[in-house]
Structure 1
Amino acid sequence: MALWYLPGYGLSCGVAFRRARSGHTFMFNLATNLESAAARWPQREGLVFEGRRWTFAELDAEASRVAHGLAAHGVGKGDHVALISPNRPEFITAYFGILKVGAVAVTVSALLRAREIAYQLQHSDSVAMIAYGGADMEIGKAAHDAFRQADTCRRGWFFSATDGLVDGTELFAFDELTAGHSASYLSVATDHDDTAVVLYTSGTTGKPKGAELTHANIIQNVICIARVRPMDPNGGKSLIALPVFHVMAQTCQMHLSIYNGTTSFLVQRFDALKVVRLLLDEGIPGFAGVPTMYRAILDCPDLTDDDHQRLKELFVSVSAGGSALAPELQREFMEKFEAPMTNGYGATETSPASCFPQSIEEVPLGSIGTAGWGIDLAIADDEGRHLPRGEVGELLVRGHCVMKGYYKDPIATADVIRGGWYHSGDLARTDEDGFVYIVGRKKEMIIRGGFNIYPAEVEAVLSEHPDVAMAAVVGVPHDTHGEEVKAYVTALPGRSVSADEVIAWARKEMAAHKYPRLVEVRDSLPLGPTGKVVKRALIEENADHD
């Protein structure tokens, strides 16, 4: 399989591009990421899950069997296939099998309910569904019921299926899809701007929107990250605890690990103690997660002093993303384990990585770094005028990472992509050296008595309180000021804190217009699938109480 020079990008990608018989100049299918790994490192371990190990050649062979099975059932180029699974080996093989036939993988959250899944199946025009049916999760029953509600889906396959999910007429066992098929499949030729994956946004306003990411979007984003995190000559090891149905783990971990020939240790559900034990037992020198995962590791009561020392000796670097990383948490983790901790930025609509540290050296605390290779960033006001360094405005992104658009929603697409720039809705600033800092969400910005207050800034300060573990800040209606600042906090393990104590402390640490007058102490905060605080739920609670 020949490597072809990619015009306009100045390098030969570690992905195979074949001349296509269909008249295309060259073949650009994201499935070749796995195919190239299998060709280059056939006997190297590509995946480890619950003690079982697969080589890259074995993963590609299984993906080829999936492709043959899909093709036999009439699934082909341009068709949409829904993939509903937690972190399981079948997610990876089904994902690449879908891509091999030239179809589009619609990766659906394994935490959704039937009604939510049915909407995505129907809206995405998925003609088939592959889903996890294990007894340890409710997703099998939800996917089964959603399939019945979506008239676009013709067939579905369940792996690890419990009783009642398979009927033998429309819904089948996954093994039936792959059984008897060849371990080799010549991937269908697709163009660089053909859609490879559709991922639905969280739907903070109205119905979720399906972001279309092209083959070029994803592989160039991988190349962009690989320039900063080059391959280990011996392969290296990576642990994936973030959900692979989410864009961060899908691109920045799954695809990047395959591209670099790294062995991925897949974890179905994050548990701080189990993750640390796996890191130590397998000698995995780094970790990537959302801030709540790092908080859980720091607070895990079952970790011994010896565990902490071994982690300190093991970690080379760790990285965070998915939500704002409080500088205090970043400082605490780095001091505890004496390892560099970086924070990056991205969105589903940007494939996702657009801004991250270009090295682990000399990155200011709280910064998300600088623009990645081939990507432009700008800070703009409401009229789209670019602002000078130091001023707060909306973060705009331009470059190879920006999505094709929202599926079947040209109005929403035109609303966020204007003049070639993706308007993120996030407020940011840059310092004198060009490092970028996220200040908050544009729509989350609180206006109290005419003053603009950025929740992320207040949360970062509250996280420095000696007894506070996590903080989430929202705006609530106020008769006089328009909005008031309200904070939800949780206490560190073994400690307690009162609302009055937090308010009194915050009053001394923040300007008068910023500190929260309303504080609610909780045992936990509502978290989304990636561990990010779901502020929408907190805002809705306040609306219900008004």
Structure 2
Amino acid sequence: MAGTISTIAELVRSNASAHGDIPFLFFYDETITYKDLDQRTDAFAAFLSEKGVKKGDIVSFMLGNTPAFFDTLLGAQKIGAVAGPISCWWQAAEVAFLVNDSKPKVLVMDPEYAHLVSQIKDKIPSVEQVIINAPAPMDLDFDCEYLPEILNNYRGSVAPQVTLDKDDTASLMYTSGTTGQPKGVMLSHYGIVHGARIKTEQVRIKKSERILCVLPLFHSGGLNDLAFPSIYRAASIVLRRNFSASEFWECVEQFKVNGFYIVPTMWSILLKAPEADTVDTSSLRMGLSGAAPIPPEQLIECEERFHLPIIEAYGATENTGGITANTEDNRKFGSIGTALPDIEVEIFDNDGKAMAPGEIGEIVVKGDTVMKGYYNKPAATAETIKDGWLYTGDVGYKDKDGFFFIVDRKKDMIIRGGVNVYPKEIESVLVNHPLVDTAAVVPEPHDIYGQVAKACIVLKVGETCSAEEIRALCKDNLAEYKIPEHFVFRASLPANAVGKVVKKDLIKELEEEETAEPVPVAHLFEGMVQRFLPDKAQGVDATVCYHITGKGGGTWTVSIKDGKMALFGEILKSPRVYIVAGDKNYHDIATGKLDGLTAVLTGKMKIEGDINFMAEFREMFTPLNNKQELEE
């Protein structure tokens, strides 16, 4: 595609004209072509315009991975409105914060999130129109319209012609808030289109290739680093609602997938799934890994197991995603790659001066992909963008060949007695222990040194290990001042939607655990006997083991065989599913607020074994009425 496209509206129309019959989306049994995409987004754009939505108005939407996400996003952007995706992980208070911060006129929600509108409807005065993506009317306590009906009623309508400038704001994406309150990142039309072009020059995507998307589209990785680059090259997106290890490989075989982009958490799950050994994966050309570093040992294991190159890349929402990437024929293990074309990437010292190869400083980037700024936050924008350079907050270095390496987050750095200690360096040592699954290092106060390192470790299922063993590993690989003062073994670590450990939440959990009262959950498991439904468990042979951590936790095993259930107050060997959770988090899971996979990726719960079995397992018990029943 020629580099003349400067707005998203032009991109959608150009594809419809030049590649109209190419499938844009494979969504289960539904296929949507690029011509269909243009017509569907025209329909929603016409509706918005008729409702008085104008250029610069904000349309916020809490939609999962469905065609409706693109109908809403691109339809709004066609008429110059600003599209604002909302994280589907967020709860009512977080959604209310975003709405009151950005003041959208329109709010579009999937039906499973309609209850959030009920909770905040009196606190969001800017919202004039609520739209629910449901095929039939719902019993709701607020007025709304329904997206499928809108698309049907406005079918054949043409989006009003609006003069768009390449620098107009197209998207308002809120950061995950891993280090503080979320901020709205303003991304321009050209920044998104230009970013899509340069990413696909470094990591090639060809017309009509099939790209599997299991990352959430509300996140920059799924949207800016996968979806828009695929659209730019007229590739076909195989879209799934969420990530499932077994469904992942089924999609690869069924749709002859050529590439995909996932995060290290998902790579780890795929390694434990047997399906990769039984399906045809010959169509795969490459897999992209980002959002967090993948340990070199795991990368090698994945490449050998799945027979494809894994390309590590790096980006930031504030830069419309990608900043650097390896390539299929030019890469270094442990590196985040070289700078993407047409943008500048450097390592700066504290005085804003470029540093020599091998010297550690802050990663900065300059180019058309850099955000316009944080929405209504000029001071925060000025702290982040200086002389056109976006300061990423990541500490790293560049080698003599131009490959970049991340050392750590600048805000995560620990200053021990005036000496810098980088948690990521310690974490890289910890995860090399054969019994360690994941690890995170955070600061803790110290009377003498001011700060010292504290290591939080999650062991592999069924394994035990002492702090002394871990300390010995550190002594063999780290200078004395870098060795953590304390080692804490945990069931899980809090993480965001793409598997990054949220250290501010971890620190908060550690503080709460020190003062928390016991929250016994034994009666929950004892009550499972009364809630068991034998008819739903006929022919089932399963063992599910639970390890609930914390002061009120314990261990239990639920054994089911041919319609009969037995409960044991211990962990039995060879479980079909092994679950670990913190007792204070277990309430949300038990009452159905989080499904199994959501709990895994957010760090609320960790499941080893047949994750997909958990949905079937839940059907064998009558549900708890509410959280109060759990606590009584």
Q: TM-score, normalised by structure 2?
A: 0.77
Is 1:64 aligned with 2:54?
A: no
Equivalent residue in structure 2 for 1:42, among 7, 11, 20: 20
The residue that corresponds to 2:492 in the other structure is: 524
Distance change >3 Å, CA 67–CA 393, structure 1 → 2: same
Q: For 2:178 and 2:438, how far apart are their aligned partners in 1?
A: 21
8 Å contact kept, 1:473–1:486 = yes
| Aligned counterparts of 1:205 and 1:340: Cα–Cα separation in 2 | 33
Instruction: Please say if residues 47 and 265 of structure 1, whose CA atoms lie closer than 8 Å, have aligned partners that are also in contact.
Output: yes
1:247-287 Cα distance to aligned partner (Å, 9 max, x none): 12111111111111111111112122221222223221322
Cα distance, 1:411 vs. partner?
0.8
Q: Aligned-pair distance for 1:494?
A: 5.5
1:485 touches 1:516 (CA, 8 Å); kept in 2?
yes
Q: Please list the CA deviations of residues 342-369 of structure 1 after superposition, one character each: whole Å capped at 9, or x if unmatched.
A: 2111111100111112x22231111011
Q: 2:422 aligns with which of 451, 454, 457?
A: 454
Paired position in structure 2 for 1:203: 177
* Cα pair 1:158 1:166 within 8 Å, conserved: no
Mapped to 2, the partners of 1:289 and 1:14 lie a distance apart of 30
- Confirm or deny that 1:350 pairs with 2:307: no
Give the aligned residue type for 1:456.
K
> Could you tell me how far apart the structure 1 residues matched to 2:101 and 2:263 are?
29
Output aligned runs, 1:247-286, within 5 Å.
Answer: 247-286=220-259
Separation (CA, whole Å) in 2 of partners of 1:187 and 1:498 = 67
1:99, distance to aligned residue in structure 2 (A): 0.9
Shifted more, 485-494 versus 79-88: the winner is 485-494
Take 2:223 and 2:69, find their aligned partners in 1: how far apart are those partners? 10
Contact 1:426 1:439 in 2 (8 A): yes
Instruction: Name the SS for the 2:41 alignment partner.
Output: helix
1:89 to 67, 76, 80: 67
1:412 corresponds to: 380
Q: CA separation in 2, counterparts of 1:520 and 1:528?
A: 21
Percent of paired sites with the same residue: 33
Residues 126 and 485 of structure 1: CA distance in aligned 2, closer, same or farther (over 3 Å):
same
Q: Which one is further off, 425-434 or 222-231?
A: 222-231
Match of 2:275 among 297, 303, 308: 303
* Cα distance in structure 2, aligned partners of 1:420 and 1:295: 38
Q: Matched residues in 1 for 2:469 and 2:260: separation?
A: 35
Contact 2:263 2:289 in 1 (8 A): yes
**Cα-to-partner distance string for 1:380-425 (whole Å, 9 max, x where unaligned):** 1212122111111111111111100111111111111111111111
Q: Give 1:163 deviation, angstroms.
A: 7.1
Task: Provide the rounded CA distance (Å) in 2 between the counterparts of 1:276 and 1:495.
Answer: 29
RMSD (CA atoms): 2.1
Report the Cα offset of residue 121 of structure 1: 1.1
Aligned to 1:22: none
Aligned residue type for 1:296: I
Helix, strand or coil at the partner of 1:343: strand
* Aligned-partner SS, 2:8: coil
Corresponding residue for residue 440 of structure 1: 408
Residues 1:102 and 2:80 are matched in the alignment: yes
Correspondence 1:355-504 to 2 at 5 A: 355-357=324-326, 359-493=327-461, 495-504=463-472
Aligned counterpart, 1:3: none
Between the aligned partners of 1:330 and 1:517, the Cα distance in structure 2 is 30
Q: C-alpha offsets along residues 492-540 of structure 1, whole Å, 9 cap, x if unaligned?
A: 3554444433222222222222233422233322121122111111111
Contact residue 249 and residue 276 of structure 2 kept, 8 A: no
Cα displacement (A) at 1:129 = 0.9
Q: Deviations over 1:226-253 (max 9, x none)?
A: 21234435x1101111111111211111
Alignment of 1:505-524 (within 5 A): 505-524=473-492
Q: Whole-Å Cα distance in 2 between the matches of residues 468 and 283 of structure 1? A: 35
Letter in 2 for 1:246: H
Larger relative contact order (Cα-Cα within 8 Å, sequence gap ≥ 6): 1
In the alignment, what sits opposite 1:317? Answer: 286
Cross-structure match for 2:598:
none
Aligned to 2:3: 13
Q: Residues 165 and 432 from structure 1, CA distance in 2 versus in 1: closer, same or farther, beyond 3 angstroms?
A: farther
Structure-2 change in CA distance of 1:501 and 1:187 (3 Å):
farther
- In structure 2, C-alpha distance between the alignment counterparts of 1:187 and 1:532, rounded to whole Å: 41
Q: What's 2:629 paired with? A: none
1:78 aligns with 2:51: no
Decide whether the 8 Å contact of 1:446 with 1:453 is kept in 2.
yes
SS in 2 for 1:443: helix
Partner SS for 1:456: helix
Pair 1:336-2:319 in alignment:
no
Q: Which has the larger radius of gyration?
A: 2
In structure 2, runs of 5+ residues without a counterpart are 516-632
Per the alignment, residue 20 of structure 1 pairs with none
Q: Displacement of 1:306 after TM fit? A: 3.0
Alignment of 1:145-160 (within 5 A): 145-160=119-134
2:265 corresponds to which of 292, 309, 324: 292
Paired with 1:78 and 1:289, the residues of 2 have a C-alpha distance of: 33
Instruction: Kindly indicate whether the alpha-carbon contact (under 8 Å) linking 2:49 and 2:160 is maintained by their aligned counterparts in 1.
Output: no
Corresponding residue pairs, total: 513
Give 1:79 shift. 0.8
Q: Distance in 2 between matches of 1:373 and 1:417?
A: 20
CA distance in 1, matches of 2:121, 2:191: 29
Contact kept in structure 2, 1:488 and 1:522, CA below 8 Å: yes
Shift of the 262–495 alpha-carbon distance from structure 1 to 2, 3 Å rule, reads: farther
- For 2:103, give the aligned amino acid: D
Q: 1-side partners of 2:482 and 2:316: how far apart?
A: 27
SS of residue matched to 2:411: coil
Following TM superposition, the consecutive aligned residue runs of length 4 or more in structure 1 with deviations greater than 4 angstroms are 161-167, 493-496
Q: Secondary structure at the match of 2:165?
A: coil
**Pair 1:226-2:200 in alignment:** yes
Q: Which letter maps to 1:293? A: M
- Structure 1 pair 370/494, CA: closer, same or farther in 2 (3 Å)? same
Is the CA contact 1:69–1:181 (under 8 Å) kept in the aligned structure 2? yes
Query: What TM-score results when the alignment is normalised by the length of structure 1?
Result: 0.89
Letter in 2 for 1:87: N
Deviation of 1:543 (Å): 3.6
| Cα distance change, pair 146–329 in 1 and its aligned pair in 2 (3 A) | farther
Letter in 2 for 1:13: G
* Residue aligning to 1:214: 188
SS in structure 1 of the partner of residue 481 of structure 2: coil
The secondary structure found in structure 2 opposite 1:281 is helix
Separation of aligned partners in 1, 2:450 and 2:160: 61
User: 1:53: Cα distance to partner?
Assistant: 1.4
Q: Distance between the aligned counterparts of 1:319 and 1:512, measured in 2? A: 36
Letter in structure 1 aligned against 2:427: E
Between the aligned partners of 1:256 and 1:229, the Cα distance in structure 2 is 10
Structure 1 unpaired stretches of 5+? 1-10, 16-27
Please give the secondary structure, in 2, of the residue aligned with 1:227.
helix
Q: How far is the alpha carbon of 1:206 from its aligned partner? A: 4.2
Measured in 2, the distance between the counterparts of 1:347 and 1:144 equals: 33
- Is 1:115 aligned to 2:93, yes or no? yes
SS in structure 1 of the partner of residue 406 of structure 2? strand
